[in-house]
Amino acid sequence: MKKLLYIYVVLFVTVMDGQIKDTLPNFNDEYFLIKDGDSLMITLNEVSILPKHKFKKQSDVHYYYWFRRKVFKAYPYAVIAAKRIDSVNVRLSRIKSKRKKRKYIKRVQKYLEEELTKPLKKLTRTEGRLLLKLIHRQSGKTAFNNIKELRSGWKAFWYNATANIFKLSLKSEYKPEIENEDYLIEDVIQRALIEEKIEYQEPKLKKDYKAIVIKERGEVDVEVYKKMFSKMKKKKKKPKKK
């Protein structure tokens, strides 16, 4: 599974009521402060406010932060992949010869193998699944389609067949507006961007991500991960056959 992931990546506030209520000025990009007859222009930076998290149980907080660590680990690789895909496509667009294109792709693959193989070996299955979805978010195309375009449909088919063995799919799409896991990914990303905890890269998959996160009103559903850990604990408790 880890080798498969490498193969792919290489290609690539409280409201209070008072007697007098404050009213908010209609801000655009600039705010004018008038003092003693003089005007002072203040440029304000945009501030994003997301809903406070709502957990069903206190224990769910631990699962959310576990999931957040997984996103933080996978996201940088998706950023790297998107950058590599862009650079490869730009270079390939300048090469006219098919033979030279194949030679260039092999050279890039060898370089990235040395650069990325070791860290990618530390990815878990969950991190690998998140990585595939984040690659779709950042590059605008699924892993399958990226491989198909850069290599061939046959290569994409066999890579995906291998991924299926590990319950992964190179055809994984990023749908935070309808998929709970994808929404959780986006929730983590949007909050991390506000707190400047991750590198910003403009996603190629165009969606109103902030609106998607705000719409859910901070609801956090981590039931699938609780069940996953429950199954893992049961397996560990099973007595070994002699």
Token pair for 102: 């194949």
Residue 208 pLDDT grade (very low, low, confident, very high; cuts 50, 70, 90) = very high
Average confidence (pLDDT) over 152-160: 51
Instruction: Name the residue with higher pLDDT: 9 or 233.
Output: 233
Q: Using CA atoms, how far apart are residues 112 and 116, in angstroms rounded to an integer?
A: 6
Structure tokens at 68: 């957040």
Comparing 1-5, 59-63, 81-85, the range with the smallest average pLDDT is: 1-5
Of the CA atoms within 13 Å of residue 140, those in its CB half-sphere come to 10
For the chain, the structural domain boundaries read 2-9+51-221
Q: Where are the beta strands (DSSP E) in the chain?
A: 30-35, 38-43, 54-55, 219-220
**Measured on CA atoms in the order 147, 203, 78, 110, is the torsion positive or negative?**
positive
> pLDDT tens across 24-61, in order?
344 344 444 455 555 555 554 555 589 999 999 999 99
Rounded-to-integer distance, Cα 78 and Cα 139, Å: 8
**Residue 58 half-sphere exposure toward CB, CA atoms < 13 A:** 0
Mean per-residue pLDDT of the chain = 75
Q: Return the sign of the alpha-carbon dihedral for residues 29, 35, 39, 40.
A: negative
Which of 14-28, 61-75, 151-165 is predicted with the least confidence, judged by mean pLDDT?
Answer: 14-28
Nearest to 71 by CA among 179, 197, 163, 169: 197
Residue 80 contacts residue 74 (beta carbons within 8 Å): no
Burial of 85 (0-12, 13-18, 19+ CB in 10 A): buried
Reported pTM = 0.72
